[in-house]
Amino acid sequence: MNDANRAALAALARPAWLATRFELLPIRGMQEAAGALPEGAVVTVTCSPRHGLERTLEASEWLAGAGFRVVPHLAARLVRDRAHLERLLARLAALGVEDVFVVGGDAERPLGDFPHGLALLEAMTVLSTRPERVGVPAYPEGHHNIEAASLQCDLEAKAALADYAVTQLCFEPGPLLAWRDRQQRRGLRLPVHAGIPGVMERKRLLSIALRLGLGHSVRTLQRQGGWMTRLFGPAVYRPDALLRGLRSSLGEGGAGFLGLHIYTFNQIGPTRAWLETLPNSRTAMPTSRA
């Protein structure tokens, strides 16, 4: 057996979760939630105006110390200036962090020199402490505050400075696949992770989706949460149908999706239990190192 065959067999034997990124919120109970994560999992840590960058960094430090591969979110509007950015990146480098996720952030006004994610990306390109990998967000179902044309221009500009993208939370494959096809036709070569929800109470998930201002996916979830479902269907959402719709496009870094990014909202236990029911194959959940 040659090395290539051995590598292929090893990949097939990996648990399905190894290809998955888990997103956590750095709020009370996060450490307990992280206890249900698989050992060595890739964990992204969000950043909000309410808690600030420091909370994200503290959570990242704890998670890195617990043996996880941490991907902190850096919200551009919360970074004051280049000196502040250099200190942030140096702190992450000391932790061994090789991957960060740059977002504009939800702060109403920027605290300093970076009004949006693109500005922060541009500043990072000239710094020796820029992490090995930098991710950016993508919005297949649009953004409630940004026009579609502006979103597209922004993504294309970021693609020249980033290493991968992660889509917003979606509940059905159609918008994700249609968006990926459009990007492919436009020549976007940035690898993309498909953002999907984890397993959680359907009512809670719908509430989150409405707050995020999602489009087609919210209507789908509302249909699924109609009176027939409430009477005869499960109260807990599982992304089985979504994953079935995406399966043929997973593992295709160019034409499809490199892997999955699960928005867990810290509901790790049910999500991991669901993942462990999936086939341990590259078709079900390909390994990725975007």
Domain boundary assignment for the chain: 3-275
Digit-coded pLDDT (tens) for 239-256: 999 999 998 898 765 678
Digit-coded pLDDT (tens) for 84-141: 999 999 999 999 999 999 999 989 999 999 999 999 999 999 999 999 999 999 999 8
Inter-residue contact 169 to 142 (CB < 8 Å): no
Residue by residue, DSSP assigns 216-268 as: HHHHHHHHHTSHHHHHHS-SEE-THHHHHHHGGGBT-TTTSBSEEEEE-TT-H
Q: What share of the chain in percent tops pLDDT 90?
A: 64
Three-state secondary-structure class, residue 35? coil
Digit-coded pLDDT (tens) for 272-283: 999 888 875 333
Digit-coded pLDDT (tens) for 212-226: 555 555 555 555 544
Mean pLDDT of 221-232: 46
Distance CA 258, CA 96 (A): 23
Give the predicted TM-score (pTM) of the model: 0.84
Inter-residue contact 86 to 121 (CB < 8 Å): no
More confident residue, 288 or 75: 75
Contacts of range 139-146, beta carbons closer than 8 Å, 24 or more positions apart: 139/167, 139/168, 140/167, 140/168, 140/170, 140/175, 140/176, 140/178, 140/179, 140/180, 141/168, 141/170, 141/175, 141/179, 141/214, 141/215, 141/216, 141/217, 142/215, 143/168, 143/213, 144/212, 144/213
The number of beta carbons lying within 10 Å of the beta carbon of residue 48 is: 18
Which of these CATH numbers, 3.30.379.10, 3.20.20.220, 3.40.50.150, 3.40.50.620, describes 3-275? 3.20.20.220
